[in-house]
Chain A
Amino acid sequence: MGHSGETPRLGAARLSPGTPEDAGSRWTTEAVVQCERLSKRFGSTLALDSVDLAVPAGQMLAVLGLSGSGKSTLLRSFNGLVTPSEGRVKVLGCEVTSANSEHLRTLRRQVGFIFQQFGLVGRICVLENVLAGALGRVKYPRFGVLSYPRRLRLEAIGHLERVGLADRAFQRADTLSGGQQQRVAIARALMQRPVLLLADEPVASLDPESSAAVMELMLRISREDNLTVIASLHQVELARGWADRLIGLRDGRVVADAKPDEMNEQRLSEIYRRVAEGKMDGPPAPANAFTTALAG
């Protein structure tokens, strides 16, 4: 299994103009991620309600919102893990809503996704987890580290070095601490050689110290590799520190969209408004202590 096993990347096409059928719409070509009237319904809950968003290349976007406001659903619909009920989503030139499974796979290869729960396969070693990031580039199912070509193994070790875990390459993934596991997940995302990085509350299950470290690492690497980043977060202050732009979701609607310095108390309370004060129709979602304090 060598270079021949690799499928071509969409890379070149990602900034190409839209197909003729897009002619009438207001799709812009520079945006890496773009969605129009995006809605997602789960049974009776409306998780996303007509979201319009365009994220230009290189932007670092933080998505804020209470628990249940639709952050995960939004991020997941950007790489097709969630199929929208209505609206259109275009990511890296690929129309996610109408893409077939082949196109979706090609898209996902270029989009790193960091999960709150890491998503590592616990029983296999760290290196094999990182190598899983290359699955989109190789043919056939793989069993064990040795089933990947040496070139890829070397590359994986390189990514592990970047996240500072090369010495743990052959340790079982479930023997690592939470912070280490998330760094392995970052290495796996790097293995995809992504253009876009989606991170869904990447540090929500970590303690404050390791969350700062993991966040720092993720953003430093993204800057170095010039990635577009969309991360959902609960910590407003943390988001203000690195993001170029913050958007706030509430009940599936975008209720705030601002630069970090424009994100004032009033806009924040729009996002985190306490239930007692607001006129909500949905069931109340509990805010954590931090956001409640901010909103109050």
Chain B
Amino acid sequence: MAVASWPVPGRARVHPPWTKQRTGFTVLLLVWLGVFIFSWRYIQMTFLTLFTGVGNIVHFLAQNFPPQFVNFAQTVNEAVITLGIAVLGTAFAFVLSVPVGLMAARNTTLHPAVRWVARAIIVACRSIPDLVFAIIFVEAIGIGVLPGVLALACHSVGMLGKLYAESIEQVAPGPTEAVKSTGATRWQQVTTGVVPQVLPSFASIALYRLDINLRSSVILGYVGAGGIGFLLNEYMGELQFRAAMGIVIVMFVLIVSMEMVAAVIRRSLIGMEAIPVSGGTASPGPTSNPWWLRWASRPRPADRLVARILPPKPAAAPDLVKSGGFNRETVRPPWTHLRIQRFSFLAGAIVAVAAAFVVTKTTPWQAFLALPAIWRTIVLYFPPNFQSGGSALSVGALQSLAVAVIATSAGYFFAVPIGLLAARNVSRPWVARTTRLFLVVLRAVPELILAIVFIVAVGLGLVAGTMALTVGTIGFVAKLVADGLEEVPQMPREAVLSVGATKVQETATSVILPTTPMLIGNGLYVLDVNFRSSTILGIVGGGGIGFLLQQSVSVLAYRTTGAIIIVTFAVVLMIEVIANWVRKHLI
């Protein structure tokens, strides 16, 4: 069969040009590969031990089965306190983050200098892990619930403040300018023109943070900051593994139920959000939301479940009040559906915070009274002593960084295929559903528990820590992959299929390719999260800089601890700067 006259390949350029972006991208991948190989050898990583380790885990589980609920009442009580700590930590963080966010946003800050201070506070809060805050606060005010609350609050400001500032900067400028033109003061412009526009996203971001804080509050008990982690630590220390497993199950139930409740609340928040656009061009709408906001408010499996249980609501119920809907004498707003919803949301939040104060037996002013003691303790950490550890400090930091790099890479390696399985537009529905369920379960296990499991499997050390973080990364990234894949538009897919591509070719070209930039963009963010977590895992025996931290804390070497904290801070800052640069120039 002679092929007639296809054009003969000439000298036309068929190679894509080496643009700055493409070069940068290649260099980035090569650098990452180099760092990965270095890290792998540096901590002598291996996944082989896992195969023998699985035996250990099975053996361990079999030996300690069934789980035991010793003193169930106390366990439940501690679980409720843990919940209370998470709620209070988030509430304090909210109260602190609103002013910090306002000052950090370009359009509402008082002065550029103030803006830089606010941003510095945000970065500092984010780069110091909550566990480190907890250690400092326990030192300052003693064992109890308050240090846990304050630790969560301080660390959360790092995320809430940043996201709040970003949503304030996203606000449509028109309404604010119009309010300004009526002769309003600066603060009136903010409260009337900006706040109503950002309040719903503030609430949903705080809710999302509550979810994270509940997971972290589980570990706080380990350092004496109250909650259920304290019991876990105790039982593990006494080698009462059955009791420990009972605790783990309670934690699991707590986290999953929190996710369910959050899904219900998010659902009603979205109901309030619905904007029935009719003609007007007043608000450009939420189409330009940044990735994190879309990501934080993305639908989750729990949302779907809730949607199935609760009957669907008619979309967008505009507040149609006919004349006579309000009293012309008093001019008070009528109790419309929307207003009732807003009020119940507010009341619910207030009740939750009040209940949290009651169950944790704390009062708002205790936090203020603790400030002098905290200050006296912080002073102890200065000036930091970089000498006493010798090279241990830099070795520890490098180890933790290596752990984070491997966990991120390996996590991505496993997460992409799992994500493909979990995406409904790529795999079969039942496979997708099962994989999704698996991911929910995986994500509900705190990394602390994962670390303990892997320590049982392969012994104390960096390898166990790396494995725990890898699994944590898989749960997180696989979801990101699956959600990203499901957002890919269908149209190009059919076009690619119609040229006669196989199903696999088609998936590669039209589904995976478009999601790649998002995945790589998030890669450095995941690295940042993993580095902070690796610090935490060191405390339960995962090695690295966290191990040094735990040591220096236990011998009360404050100034050495100060040095460790500063090194951690520097590394997180470095990752953040690199991530920002990459996101800006290469993606």
Binding site for B on A (CB under 8 A): 79, 81, 105-111, 113, 115, 117-125, 127-128, 132-136, 140-146, 150, 153-154, 156-157, 166-181, 185, 188-189, 191-192, 205
Contact = CB atoms under 8 A, between A and B. Distances in A.
B318 A119 contact: no
A276 to B, nearest CB: 32
A22 B408 CA distance: 70
Nearest to B194: A121
Contacts of B277: 174
Interface stretch (B328-336, B361-369, B398-406): B328-336
A56 B330 CA distance: 40
Nearest to B171: A121
B333 A174 contact: no
Contacts of B184: 105, 132, 135-136
State which size class the interface on B falls in: 35 or more
B181 interface: yes
Interface stretch (B278-286, B307-315, B519-527, B563-571): B278-286
B174 A115 contact: yes
21 contacts: A81-B177, A109-B182, A109-B183, A119-B175, A119-B178, A120-B178, A120-B282, A121-B179, A121-B197, A135-B179, A136-B184, A140-B187, A145-B332, A157-B331, A166-B323, A169-B321, A171-B319, A175-B276, A175-B319, A177-B280, A178-B281
Interface string B296-325: 000000000000000000000011111111
Nearest to B192: A132
A170 B332 CA distance: 9
Interface string B316-354: 001111111110101111101010000000000000000
B182 A135 contact: yes
A179 B279 CA distance: 8
B141 to A, nearest CB: 35
B272 to A, nearest CB: 9
Contacts of A191: 182
B477 to A, nearest CB: 35
**For the complex of A and B, 7 pairs with smallest distance between CB atoms:** A119-B178, A136-B183, A109-B183, A167-B323, A141-B191, A108-B183, A135-B184
Given A119-B177, A132-B192, A172-B318, A177 B331 contact: no
B240 interface: no
A113 B196 contact: no
B174 A171 contact: no
Nearest to A117: B174
Given A119-B174, A181-B282, A143 B195 contact: yes
A176 B280 contact: yes
Given A109-B182, A122-B275, A142-B192, 5 more contacts: A107-B183, A132-B184, A136-B183, A157-B328, A170-B336
Contacts of A135: 179, 182-185, 188, 192
B175 A121 contact: yes
A106 B182 CA distance: 9
A170 B278 contact: no
B319 A170 contact: yes
Contact of A145 (B174, B197, B276, B331): B331
B236 interface: no
B331 A81 contact: no
A117 B333 contact: no
Contact of B321 (A113, A157, A167): A167
Contacts of A79: 181
B190 interface: yes
B246 interface: no
Nearest to B173: A119
Given A115-B174, A167-B321, A108 B336 contact: no
B278 A176 contact: yes
A233 to B, nearest CB: 18
Contact of A192 (B182, B200, B276, B319): B182
Contacts of B185: 105, 135, 141
B345 to A, nearest CB: 14
Contacts of A157: 328, 331
Given A121-B192, A142-B192, A150-B330, A188 B182 contact: yes
A171 B280 CA distance: 14
User: For B181, B196, B277, B333, which residue has the most chain A Cβ atoms within 10 angstroms?
Assistant: B181
B106 interface: no
A270 B332 CA distance: 54
Contact of B281 (A141, A169, A205): A205
